């Protein structure tokens, strides 16, 4: 069940097995979402909302509450600790206590953490209920959920997951205004990733405009880069919804390193920082192997620098410990290290059996 298009906004339609996901990018979309949701025949709503977002946009949450009359509102502290079974259990309890049934719909307001928690629960509760996602961070908009949701277990990031998409995703870029500069940088990491793996022209666009985005945020056209970023993600997922072919793996560029270093930092390193470091290390490895040219490697570095993303680990790391975990990543098989790397700007590939010596030397190079 999806919503009709609002006027004057960008729209992406992603065809997935048994489902079509509609994604809208634009401004001032909240009233439209409420209106549309009320025209659908849902048996009830549960709202999941990020606690910080709820404080900043108190009036908006009240409006959602008064108009949708949800059977419950679950406030979610955006901590990686909550992306685990414990929190999921308590949310599940709330759904069953509210007699929420499979004809109901989750309405989710928040960043990637709230999105993954509610999305994972939506994928399994009564074998799947609808979800309308209103991502409110640049990370959750530019890399919004398309057919994958996940939670973590102990230090293993995103190890438990489902293939699931919200039926409708509404990226209202007005919400980006209240984000800190740091959150903008973190969100840019995934947008840069989409450009690097799939589009030379988007990479050039970011090269030209990112310095301006960082110096005059309010005047920057965020709609355009969120839209371009999601066009790429949607296209790759549509071609390979179950992540079986090399094409989908591009979306994991930087993530093999990122998942490990984020987990080993006890999630003190933020996802966007870890992805940026992961891309820098993978780029370095590809260049050292004679695959990625110096010029293209430097373009990647310029983009990540322009977005003010880190170039070193914040604390020293144990390379052998990291190597051990890299061998256990979802993409690696047979106890070897596999990595997604860039061949050139706009083209990625997967390499298997990467030299441990090269990985160790790279990890040492990135020590503070
Ligand atoms: N399933 C997917 O496809 C997917 C994609 C990308 C990221 N993720 C996951 O998302 C998580 C990271 O997401 P994130 O970076 O959005 O982090 P987050 O959800 O922690 O949000 C970041 C911070 O921004 C605050 N916030 C949210 N909206 C705000 C607003 N409009 N104004 C001011 N503050 C606001 C939050 O309270 C939080 O403090 C990671 O766990 C990552 O694995 C999942």
| Closest listed residue to residue 139, CA positions, set 279, 340, 261, 275 | 275
pLDDT interval class at 42 (50, 70, 90): very high
Å from CA of 47 to ligand 1 middle: 17
Instruction: Tell me the C-alpha distance between 184 and 128, whole Å.
Output: 32
Considering only CA atoms, which residue is closest to atom 25 of ligand 1? Answer: 52
Tokens of 97: 């206590």
Based on the domain organization, do 156 and 221 belong to the same domain?
no
- Of 113, 144, 178, the residue at which a domain comes to its end is 178
What pairing do the DSSP bridges indicate for beta strands 149-153 and 156-162? antiparallel
Looking at ligand 1, which atom is closest to the CA of residue 190? 6
Q: Is residue 73 part of a domain?
A: yes
- Looking at residue 1, its pLDDT comes to 45
- The count of domains in the chain is 2
Q: What is the mean pLDDT of residues 351-367?
A: 96
Residues 115 and 43 in one domain: yes
How remote is the CA of residue 113 from the centroid of ligand 1, in Å? Answer: 5
Cα separation, 131 vs 164, whole angstroms: 10
The pLDDT score that the predictor gives to residue 161 is: 96
The tokens of 312 are what? 């070193």
CATH number of the structural domain spanning residue 121: 3.40.50.1970
Q: In terms of domains, do 100 and 204 share one?
A: no
| Distance separating alpha carbons of residues 151 and 163, to the nearest angstrom | 12
Q: Where are the alpha helices (DSSP H) in 98-199?
A: 112-124, 138-142, 181-198
Q: What is the pLDDT of residues 9-34, one digit of tens each?
A: 899 999 999 899 999 999 999 889 99
For tokens 């994928």, what's the residue? 123
Q: Over the stretch 275-293, which tens digit does the pLDDT of each residue have?
A: 999 999 999 999 999 999 9
3-state secondary structure of 45: strand
Ligand 1 proximal residues by C-beta, below 6 Å: 50, 52-53, 56, 78, 80, 83, 110-114, 116, 136-137, 139-140, 143, 145, 148-149, 158, 175, 178-179, 183, 186, 271-272
Residue 268 within any structural domain of the chain: yes
Per-residue pLDDT tens digits for 156-180:
889 999 999 999 999 999 999 999 9
Q: How far is CA 42 from CA 95, 96, 101, 110, 164, in A?
A: 15, 17, 10, 22, 19
Query: How confident is the model at residue 283, as a pLDDT?
Result: 98
Nearest to 194 by CA among 242, 114, 255: 255
In a domain, 232, yes or no: yes
The whole domain housing 111 covers 10-178
Q: Are residues 150 and 260 in the same domain?
A: no
- Out of 178, 208, 231, pick the residue that ends a domain: 178
Say if residue 260 is exposed, middle or buried (CB neighbours under 10 Å; 0-12, 13-18, 19+): buried
Ligand 1 geometric centre to CA of 336 (Å): 32
3-state secondary structure of 297: helix
In a shared domain, residues 166 and 140: yes
Q: What is the pLDDT of residues 218-232, one digit of tens each?
A: 999 999 999 999 999
Residue whose CA is closest, atom 33 of ligand 1? 179
């Amino acid at each position: 069940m999806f919503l009709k298009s609002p006027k004057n906004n960008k729209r992406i339609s992603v065809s997935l097995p048994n489902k079509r996901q509609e994604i809208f990018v634009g401004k001032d979309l909240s009233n439209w979402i409420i209106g549309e949701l009320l025209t659908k025949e849902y048996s009830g709503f549960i709202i999941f909302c990020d606690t910080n977002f709820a404080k900043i946009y108190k009036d908006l949450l009240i409006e959602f509450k008064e108009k949708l009359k949800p059977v419950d509102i679950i406030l979610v502290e955006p901590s990686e600790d909550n992306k685990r079974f414990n929190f999921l259990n308590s949310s599940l309890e709330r759904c069953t206590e509210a007699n929420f049934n499979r004809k109901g719909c989750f309405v989710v307001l928040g960043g990637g953490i709230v999105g993954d928690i509610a999305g994972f629960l939506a994928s399994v509760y009564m074998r799947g209920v609808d979800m309308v996602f209103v991502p409110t961070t640049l990370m959750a908009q530019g890399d919004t959920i398309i057919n994958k949701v996940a939670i973590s277990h102990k230090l293993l990031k995103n190890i438990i997951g489902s293939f699931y998409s919200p039926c409708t995703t509404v990226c209202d870029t007005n919400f980006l205004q209240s984000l800190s500069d740091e959150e903008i940088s973190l969100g840019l990491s995934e947008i840069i990733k989409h450009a690097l793996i799939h589009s030379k022209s988007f990479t050039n666009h970011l090269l030209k405009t990112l310095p301006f985005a960082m110096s005059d945020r309010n005047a920057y056209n965020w709609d355009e880069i969120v839209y371009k970023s999601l066009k790429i993600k949607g296209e790759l997922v549509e071609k390979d919804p179950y992540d079986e072919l090399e094409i989908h793996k591009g979306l994991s560029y930087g993530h093999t390193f990122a998942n490990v270093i984020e987990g080993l930092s006890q999630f003190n390193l933020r996802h966007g920082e870890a992805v940026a470091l992961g891309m820098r290390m993978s780029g370095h490895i590809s260049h050292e192997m004679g695959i990625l040219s110096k010029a293209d490697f430097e373009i990647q570095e310029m983009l990540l620098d322009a977005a003010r993303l880190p170039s070193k680990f914040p604390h020293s790391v144990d390379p052998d410990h990291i190597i051990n975990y890299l061998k256990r990543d979802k993409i690696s098989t047979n106890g070897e290290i596999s990595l997604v790397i860039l061949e050139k700007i706009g083209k990625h590939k997967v390499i298997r059996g990467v030299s441990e010596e090269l990985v160790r030397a790279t990890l040492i190079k990135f020590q503070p």
